[in-house]
Amino acid sequence: MITNLNGETLRFDRDENCLCILDQTKLPCEEKLLYLTSPEEIFDAIKLLKVRGAPAIGVAAAAGVAVIANNSKASDRTGFDREMEAAIKYLASSRPTAVNLFWALGRMKNIIDSNPSAGVEEIKKLLSDEAERMHAQDIEICRKIGENGAQLISDGDTVLTHCNAGRLATVKYGTALAPVYIAAEQGKSVKVFSDETRPLLQGARLTCWELVSAGIDTTVICDNMAASVMAKGMINAVFVGADRIAANYDTANKIGTYSVAVLAKHFGVPFYVCAPESTFDKSTPDGAGIPVEQRAGEEITEMWYEKRMAPDGVKTYNPAFDVTPHELITAFVTENGIIRP
Ligand code: MRU
């Protein structure tokens, strides 16, 4: 049984046939590992943000499919394939916006579809191999995003980030924070301002936890303070992640990203989106076609407060993401380089 993820966010434990994750809803107060085995546990972990961030959701879902496959009692491929189709559909309904979820599940489905003559035991092995491959590839890809993005950071820079697109949002390194980690590794002095990121506080809880643990100089600000720090010239660049990038480069990311992009444009601060190629969705022409997840209003009115702070009867509107128009984005950093569309 895994008792230490050694700096990684999740792992498919092939020996125990479970998905081990660091429960992000408990951070920064408690570092608790969860061992997920049933489809419902895996679905809930994604839905309830125990594992979150586009790339991490993808790798977790792929591992989830492998775990569910290995637990199958089906004796022939017809029964097995039917079970897996249902499991993949179920996991795909956990969250709608991050395209990496559908990309990862598509890769697992492709293993099943492209090996019709493999027996049940053989296909289980192939699915486990694919889940492990995706885990390893995520680490490699994020490292490359970091190396490419570090070129955009000069010694002494302060960058602003929104939400958490750090190591917790991937297997390791992160996307938006990977350039920070690599710049620091290269000996550059780099400071980070982290938006707290209402309503679920991914910035204050998660980004700050992982950066402070890594020894990076980090300052948390409320979301509505970004204009103030930019106006004072305190920010050299903005680095954010992405959940889905449409064919015209409109980009969905955590709610609040759009306003940071508008501010960055206003103050002449470069605005960089860091994401793996798997986040680019060529089948969605523009941002209007990106499904935006709506979440429970209680995340605004009750969570994080000792008692409900908004009056009974008030309505809530709680979109989890917004779409930044491509013209506000200076460049995209991927594993293959820097794109300036
Ligand atoms: O709702 P979350 O916490 O899953 O939202 C995460 C984000 O918006 C991240 O910025 C995005 O997934 C990129 S993660 C590398």
0.85 exceeded by pTM? yes
Facing residues of 192 across strands?
159, 218
Any ligand 1 atom below 6 A from CB of 64: no
Neighbours of 54 (CB within 10 A): 28
233 CB-contact burial (10 Å; exposed 0-12 / middle 13-18 / buried 19+): exposed
Helix axes 178-185, 120-150, angle to 10 degrees: 60
Closest CA to 253 of 145, 331, 149, 164: 164
Is 243 tagged catalytic? yes
Whether 241 lines ligand 1, by a CB cut-off of 6 Å, is yes
Q: Which of 15, 129, 195, 243 is catalytic?
A: 243
CATH of domain 148-339: 3.40.50.10470
Bridge partners (DSSP) listed for residue 334: 337
Bridge partners of residue 337, in order along the sequence: 334
Å from CA of 50 to ligand 1 middle:
12
Q: Which of 209, 254, 335 to mutate to test the pocket of ligand 1 (most atoms within 8 A of CB)?
A: 254
In short, whether 98's Cβ falls inside 6 Å of ligand 1 is yes
Q: Is 179 in the pocket of ligand 1 (CB under 6 A)?
A: no
Q: How is the chain split among helix, strand and coil, in percent rounded to 5?
A: 40, 15, 40
CATH of domain 10-143: 1.20.120.420
Q: Domain extents for the chain?
A: 10-143, 148-339
pLDDT of the chain, 341 residues: tens digit per residue:
999 999 999 999 999 999 999 999 999 999 999 999 999 999 999 999 999 999 999 999 999 999 999 999 999 999 999 999 999 999 999 999 999 999 999 999 999 999 999 999 999 999 999 999 999 999 999 999 999 999 999 999 999 999 999 999 999 999 999 999 999 999 999 999 999 999 999 999 999 999 999 999 999 999 999 999 999 999 999 999 999 999 999 999 999 999 999 999 999 999 999 999 999 999 999 999 999 999 999 999 999 999 999 999 999 999 999 999 999 999 999 999 999 98
Tokens of 102: 């559908």
Give the number of residues written for the chain. Answer: 341
